[in-house]
Amino acid sequence: GCLQRCLGRRLRPAPSAHRASRAVRRDFERREPYNYLQVAFFQLKKLDQAVSAAHTFFVANPQHLQMREDIEKYRRMSGVKSDSFQDLEATPHWEAYETGVQHYDADEYLQAVARLEESLSEALSALEECRALCEGPWEDEDEDEEEKMQPGLYEAIAAHYIQVLKCRQQCVLEIATKPGRISATEDFIPSHLDLLQFAYSQVGNQTLAAECAASYLLFYPTDEPMLEKMKRYRTELGEDAAVTARQSIQHYVQRSLMEKKLIYYAVEHLGETFNDPDLWTPDELIPENLKEKYREDQKKQKQETLNVEEREKRGPLPFEGIVVTMDSQQMNGTQRVVFDRVLTESECKDLLRLTKAAGEAGDGYRARRSPHTPHERFEGLTVLKAMQLAQNGDVEWRDAKLLLQASEKSRKIIESYFTPGKKLHFSFTHLVCRRAVDGEQEGRMDLSHPVHADNCLLDPEGQECWKEPPAYVYRDYSGILYLNDDFQGGGLFFTEMDTVTVTAEVHPRCGRLVAFSSGKENPHGVWAVSRGRRCAIALWYTHSQEHAEQERVKAEELMEQRAVEQDQPDGDKHQGAGRSSRSSSEPRAPSRASKPADQRQKPGLDRKQHPKVLRARDEF
């Protein structure tokens, strides 16, 4: 090391050709070269190689929206073979593991055993390869070599050795992290043994089941369920049967514990740091002073969480039972929030019943192809159309009324959270459903709704969002109230201004309300609905009263008229109270005294103003 630094200062050589820099290695880990390769192969008209390179990059970068679109284009090209979409960097242990788990979930235990054994063997082999690569010169690229203090000989040897040990310990995270994922699969090696012991027991091989159970207990010796299984296996095999853990697992655990002991000694006495990658590390191995520090960190983190919650309360929510599931900090952005329990299961079912009318007599789309993708059909219903259908007897009045009430409840929640004391008016309300087109989902790579902002025109290349028509520049806040989750895909996601870097995702479920400010700070899109039907109430709000939703005013007037007619005796009702006369005539405004107590006040709109009727073109 000293000789290399001396030669480097004197001769100023190029970086070593035998050991790539950390930045270069990071690019290769992210498979960045394949991004360039696919462009080069495409320019050379070598489509099969271009497709393989693109697919290999996309497997490790599944959130890269530009590559997602490129792959969709490749699929549409004539002459591109389906088997060209292959991962050139596929790791054997992950392929075997995922196939084994699929067989396991399908109760195909014989096939599961074979694939899981293959995965475990390949994983241990990959682990050894990773550990071997930890050998090499000491890397410390974060500090200036000219300025940092040079350690003495013994300190340098110890530091180098500890670095190698920590690198070896982190190898388990590397093999347990699936390409394209950030976080590793917890307990990757022990989970193999847990799955294998059950699968072997199901195929009648109690000897190997007991061996896997004994191997698992090396990681978690006090695990009660596994100890019970081990007791049962011993009973079935006989007390004289020798049941021992696998030699490879014994070696793995013993070696890891020895390395951890050395590392924790260095942490305690030499000022080193260490993030233990394993959940199974015995407590007695961790120095007592580090345990105390861990407890203090946990207490501090809990207090910080309480402080954040206190800051974001901003006064009580207007309804009981509603919970804030995710706030802006948890969603890696600003002016974002997710509420749960806004609707009950029965209310979701009632509104879903109303959505059936949207497919038959909605606001113009009527289950036609979505304006955003040919792979989905779109159904939409405005609040006014819902009231008109109720007038004609096509839907229940209570269902149409529930649409008004649910959207108003959402408005009050969002107003109290984001703008307490400042009135939010409805800009547009839309009950929308998206249905996946059967037979057209295989190989699909496009989105249900492309990334956009709600009150400006997004320019990803210029990193700007232009507040000009045709954007709805007057919109201030947006929301979506989900009604179901019995479909695949269809989740909402937020990105950076580049429309590529995903910062947060929201998964739909009944009664979940996601709300956010409508500007450039919250670009968002919707993942493809690949199976089933996704329904929700899309909501947009404005502080500008002149842009308040005109159709909602009319819908509330129809609702009030209905309430007045219900309060009148049968003999006092108008002769023309049938369906046709009500739908063709102008609704009569009732007196305030006749208004039911639970009916909402109409927005204070000047009747001389005629706001533009909005089209349902940019719903989620």
The span from the first CA to the last CA of the chain, in angstroms, equals 58
Q: Residue 504: beta bridge partners?
A: 494
Give CA–CA dist 36/28, Å, rounded: 12
- Token reading at 388: 């008109």
What is the three-class DSSP state of 243?
coil
Q: For residues 190 and 280, is the Cβ–Cβ distance under 8 A?
A: yes
- Alpha helices, DSSP H, located in 203-339: 206-219, 224-237, 247-269, 288-313
- Token reading at 582: 């009500």
Q: Are strands 533-542 and 502-506 parallel, antiparallel or unpaired?
A: unpaired
Give CA–CA dist 547/610, Å, rounded: 9
Diameter of the chain by CA atoms? 107
Q: Residue 529: beta bridge partners?
A: 489
Q: For residues 210 and 237, is the Cβ–Cβ distance under 8 A?
A: yes
Q: Residue 542: beta bridge partners?
A: 425
Q: Are strands 368-369 and 376-382 parallel, antiparallel or unpaired?
A: antiparallel
Class of residue 196 by CB neighbours under 10 A (exposed 0-12, middle 13-18, buried 19+): buried
What number of other Cβ atoms are within 10 A of residue 477's Cβ? 26
Is 115 assigned a catalytic role?
A: no
Exactly one of 168, 534, 562, 582 is catalytic; which is it?
534
- Token reading at 69: 């679109």
Q: Residue 505: beta bridge partners?
A: 493
Active site residues: 534
